[in-house]
Structure formats: C-alpha cells, structure tokens
Structure 1
C-alpha cells in the first residue's frame, strides 16, 4: 500500500513528496496539470525558505534578496530591513515548480495526471478514487476541494472582513534594487520582486474590485520606473483569507494553502509550506499524525500573529496611512519583525 498519496502537485505537495521519498516512504502525487504551473504569487522567498529548498536538494535559479523595503505610494517615506540569516531569493514561480518537480522525479516519486474527486476515510487507510494509501495529504491549494468535501472549511462569522485578492504581472525591466519593495497606498499594496536580470514581478494585493492597470495607477513611483516595458498577462488569486477547522482529519493531513491562509501581506506562504511539509512527514513516519496539528500551529504562529495584526491595521482607515511612516520612524522594530518572519 502507498504510504503517502499527495493530492496536488504544486510546491507544497512536491515538497511533501520529496520529504517523504527522502524518509524512505512510497509517495504518489495526483496532479492533473502539466509542469510547470504558473499562478499569482509574490515570488519572493524568505531566507528560511531558501534553506528549506537546500535541505531538499532543490536548486531554483533566481535573484538573491538582501531584505525588505517599505515605501508609501509616492516614495517619500521609506524603511529598510536586511535579512540577518542570509539572503532570500526572487524566483519565477514556474522555475521553482520545475525545480521541485525535477527533484521529485529524481527520487522516484510517481505523479499521476489526474484530478481526485472523492476521498473515503477508514480506520486503517484512505481511498482517493479507488487508490488506497496509509495517509492522504491534501495540498490542493487555497480553495482546497478536499477540505471542502470533508466539511473542514470555516465560514466567516460576525462582521465580514473585506475580501482580499492578489494580481500579478511581470515587467521586462532591470531590477533597481536587491530588496523586495512593498509600496503602500490607500486600499492596496504593490510587491516588487526582482526575479531575473531584466525582469521584476509586481503583485498587487487589494480589497477593491478593478483591473490590474487601474490598481497600479495608485503607485506613481512604480509607474515611472516601468515606462513602456514589455509585460506578461495578469494572473489573479483570491479571496486570500481561508480558514480550516483542523490540519489533521484522521488519516488526511493538510499542507500549504490548503491548511489555512491569512494573507500574503508578510510573504510567508511558501516558507511555511516548505517547513510544514517536513513536519508532516516526520509526524507520519513516527506514527503520530495527530502531532502535526500542534507542529503546524507552532510553525505558523509568528506568521499568523504578525499577518493578522498588520492586516487589522491595514483595515483601519486612520491607521493604514501610518504603516509605512511608522516603519520608517521605528526601524529597529521593523527589522525585528522582518527577521522574525525570515
């Protein structure tokens, strides 16, 4: 019987498969899409994520990142924080996915080109459309069909928060910084990540409806740098906030965005996914899958607390304009927050 059946062959699913193969488990991945899969993503990896990829034997080509810079929309207020634990990495999502897929194939992981429609749970195993495995790992994304089918989604209660979305496009310009820049404007943020010698990715996070170009118009400094540069089509994702009741449901475990997601404000999604994948496999290998819930909570605590706090401030009309100026005024606090996540 298969040890791990991973539903979803994105970065979180492939990282889980690689960890499993390295631990001596038989792993099969179900992914209907051809590699590489592109999606809306900030494409900036924190130093912890870079170290996690190294431990997996995955080498993804990209641009070293020295730290993070916050700016207001006009660029008048600026705060910078360098990573103390080594560089991060700006890397195209497609290149990262391709590198993970190549490593999984090198380790003999089987990838089935199919979509899983039905999951049945039993005391001793799980079946996914007739395929039996000791454990099933749901790595099927932000709007996880497995999470939904098992009734593990948490519906928003009380006063509804404004839904947030991400939009991303690449521009053919030489990067002007080795930092991830976060530009703050009313109702939205723009993340600029250098990903190649003549390529930057710009992801806009927003709670307001509207096309990408209209959103980017709120950042005059960015527009002045882009000029008439060539650009790629826009990709989008959202609503970003997704909550799960649990990360462990018997022999079904959740990893990556399927395990629950707060927001992309702090750029920790991939780092958390890579770290969680390792903990999940460790708990399964030790025969203690239930311990993964606590491990995930510990790993994600800083991300959840800082992201929720920053998102709360972003949603306060009187506080939101003060975020970039406050980071500039208190650089030590800003640096500590950045490196806590890094």
Structure 2
C-alpha cells in the first residue's frame, strides 16, 4: 500500500483555536499551509466556552466577525460568589482590550476558526490522525504520517504522509507529536482538571459569567452544609443553555481523590432555583479534561517543531483560560516562522526559529510564574478561605484581582494598577 505524499511550507497539527489561528496567520503571510485535524467539524471540545476580553482581542486581530446576530453572546463582566458575598465586576476595558467578553460553544468556535483559516488560504484536511513525525538525517522533523479516519471515527487502514520545512504541534494536552519528539511534561508546573456539562435555563442570556469561589453542598440527613473542593463557573451561552462546570488544581490536597461527578451533582442541587439546573434540564454527560499550565512542556521549539496551546502547556494558571493564550501563541508562531522562512540559508532560518521560546516567555513567561506561585497558595484551603472572607468584600481589591487573573492590564501606560501588574510580570523570572 503506497502512501500519498503532500508537501507544504508549514504543517499545523490540530485545528483547535491555537492551530487554526496559527494556520490563518501563516497563510496571511503568504505561506502554503496544511492544517491537519483528526476529527471532522463540527466537533466538541471540553471547555468553559467563556472568552475573556483577552480572547476577544485575538478574534478581532484575526479578523473573525463577532457580531451578536451571528450567535456570539456578549458579557459585561464577571459575577463572583463566595464567603456570603455576591459581587459584579465589569470587564476593565482599556486601550489594549475591549470592555466585553464573549461566550460561544467550542462546537461552534473551533469550526468558525478553522473555516476562517481556510478563507485565508489554509488547506484544511479533516479526519487526519497524525501518528508520528518524519525525521531527516539530522533528526529534525520534516513531515508527519497520519492515519486516515473514517466518518465513524475509526481508522480506515489508509495512511498519508505530509512534508514541510516547519511543523507546528497544536494537538492538545496529550500531544502525541510532542511526545514522539522527546518533549515530556514538566512535573514542576501546575496542572488542573476541569469538568462541565450544559443545562437549559431561562437565564441563558445573562450579561455576566459567574465564578463560584466556594462550592457548598447541602448536608444530608440534617447535617450542616459541606464545603467541597474546587471552584465553579456558569457561562450563559445565549442560545437557551448555560455551560456549567468546575475545576481543581493539582496543588489542592483533594486533587487525587476528586469525585467530580459527585461534587458537580451536589453543588448544582443547591443552586438558586431561578437557574433551573437539574437532571431534567441537563444536556449530555459531565465530561472532563486536563488543563496544562505554565509552559509545562518544553522546549517550545526544537528540531523543527514548535508547540502551540495546550501542547505547550499554555493555560493561564490564574483562571484556567487557554483559548486566548493559544491564539496569541498562534500569532507569535506565524511571525517567527514567516520570518524564518524568508531567510536565505538553513542556518539563518534555524536561528530565527530558535527565538520562539524567548518570544513566548517574553509575552507570558513572567505572568505564568506569578500564576504558579498563586496556584501553590490557593492549594492551601486555609489561605483560600481567608482570601475569600477578607478579600471579597473589598471591591477595589477585587477589580485589581480580576485584571490580574484575566491578564487584562493595558500593555503600555495605563493606570497605577496596569503598571503594577506589568511590573510584577516583568520582575518575575520566566522559566
């Protein structure tokens, strides 16, 4: 059985937000780009579906239409609940970030971004499950082999080979391509686990996404209420449903024994009645996914392979967001790769590609290391309890924390809080 060999300037493996953004920007730079996706669209991904203003900025930069009439639900800000306090904080719009967020299911979002990449000139090939790299005589990646998947999601028995000068791994947390190129995960970086499901609800078009800093469950048989591990969210989707989920960091003592289905069931059972969450309004099962944080797979570039999104552990440790960071990485990746491929010699090209880790660390590295310290702190339940009790009632402090946790400081200039956050990120060594 002979393999079909197809060539391009760049191969991007994985058509999630990071991969699709990378491909769209590369194509806009005039490069021939192959975007390989193992599933076929529309397809679902486990995620909170909430897009902060940082992610909205990336959608705008990419040129994706985000009109409300096209199905995007706009949010004004974040509603925080904890310690008996309920507080609404508007998104802090500034010269860098818009004053609103968006909610869109991953079922929709990923296809919108992949199709947008196609309009830019990307060649998207679905149902291509990349199984291994193709290496040259130096051990550098020069292509990939993929199993052709059938409509039933199973291998057809056919394989295809693709060749390119540069390969981008945007194939998610498990990133088979990264592992096959000797990029194991770092154990010194935080990891989260998130689970979510959908409910129909009359509050599907709420203007605020919700963050529950404490998950209380009603005590059974007259016992007092129980504080369960993790934090929760409600993201109104605007289509009659809400995305409801919860997460926990591996710095928490309950991480290994976390029965997420039980915690979710008990938390939802105690929710305010106006949401109408319950077994009869639940849509689909509760599903979970890992959240790799703080560049937990390194180096981000080596031997012809660049890592983007979850493949490079780019989830924000403060809030569990990964879409904005993946799309940012795609923008930076395209700039580095386009610059490299415009150079005359292999040595010059390699020198430019080698700059990618420092570009990403300059963008997010210091902030991630701040987040790593934060993740360690909130893993201690007593510290978290004190923070909720004494921090939440102070609105000015919470506005600052919102800006820190969603990484929304104005990049140049701005107010005192913007300058403090930027200074902290710059002063924290990236690693």
Residues 316-336 of structure 1 show CA distances to partners (whole Å, capped at 9, x for unaligned) of 021122333344233323222
Q: Does 1:292 align with 2:356?
A: yes
The CA deviation at 1:244 is: 0.8
Local SS of the residue matching 1:116: strand
Contact 2:186/2:298 (8 A) holds in 1: no
Local SS of the residue matching 1:190: strand
Partner of 1:217: 266
* Count of residues in correspondence between the two structures: 337
Partner of 1:144: 175
Range moving further from structure 2, 107-116 or 144-153: 107-116
The CA deviation at 1:264 is: 6.1
Q: Does 1:175 align with 2:206?
A: no
TM-score by length of 2: 0.72
Q: Which structure would you say has the larger RCO, counting Cα contacts within 8 Å and 6 or more residues apart?
A: 1
Range moving further from structure 2, 163-172 or 138-147: 163-172
Partner of 1:66: 76
Give 1 or 2 for the bigger CA radius of gyration: 2
Q: Does 1:118 align with 2:132?
A: yes
Residues 285-339 of structure 1 show CA distances to partners (whole Å, capped at 9, x for unaligned) of 1112222111211222365145323322221021122333344233323222322
Residues 107-154 of structure 1 show CA distances to partners (whole Å, capped at 9, x for unaligned) of 232122311111134468612124210110000001111111112113
Query: How big is the alpha-carbon RMSD for the aligned residues of Structure 1 and Structure 2?
Result: 2.5
Gaps of 5+ in 1: none
Partner of 1:313: 377
Partner of 1:34: 40
Q: Give the distance between the partners of 1:293 and 1:331, measured in 2 at CA.
A: 37
Partner of 2:334: 281
Partner of 1:184: 213
Gaps of 5+ in 2: 1-6, 94-98, 146-160, 215-227, 249-254, 341-351, 409-431
Q: Give the distance between the partners of 2:308 and 2:290, measured in 1 at CA.
A: 18
Q: Give the distance between the partners of 1:194 and 1:16, measured in 2 at CA.
A: 28
Alignment of 1:1-342 (within 5 A): 1-60=7-66, 61-72=71-82, 76-85=84-93, 86-112=99-125, 113-122=127-136, 126-129=142-145, 130-156=161-187, 164-175=192-203, 177-185=206-214, 186-206=228-248, 207=255, 208-218=257-267, 222=271, 224=273, 225-228=275-278, 230-233=281-284, 234-238=286-290, 240-241=292-293, 243-261=296-314, 265-287=318-340, 288-301=352-365, 303-340=367-404, 341-342=407-408
